[in-house]
Amino acid sequence: MAYKISDDCVACGTCLSECPAGAISEGDIYKIDPAVCVDCGTCADACPMGAISPAE
């Protein structure tokens, strides 16, 4: 399972530097590569918008 970023993302970049796996990429909204994510949850704790959650 990987984490995912919702439409609540405001592309602030906070999560990008927090991810130890380098799974997050920039864009209009940021994305997590599920093949790289190690499911640690660091990004979810860092996101000021609460936009990151475990994928179903």
Q: Which of 14, 31, 42, 53 binds ligand SF4 (CB under 6 A)?
A: 42
Tokens 């609460």, located at residue: 50
Q: Which of 6, 8, 25, 41 binds ligand SF4 (CB under 6 A)?
A: 41
Sign of the torsion formed by the C-alpha atoms of 39, 37, 56 and 8: positive
CA terminus-to-terminus distance, the chain: 8
Least separation, in Å, of the C-beta of 8 and ligand SF4? 15
Closest C-alpha among 27, 35, 30 to residue 18: 30
**Residue 21 binding ligand SF4, by CB under 6 A:** yes
Q: Which residues bind ligand SF4 (CB under 6 A)?
A: 3, 18-19, 21, 23-24, 32, 37-43
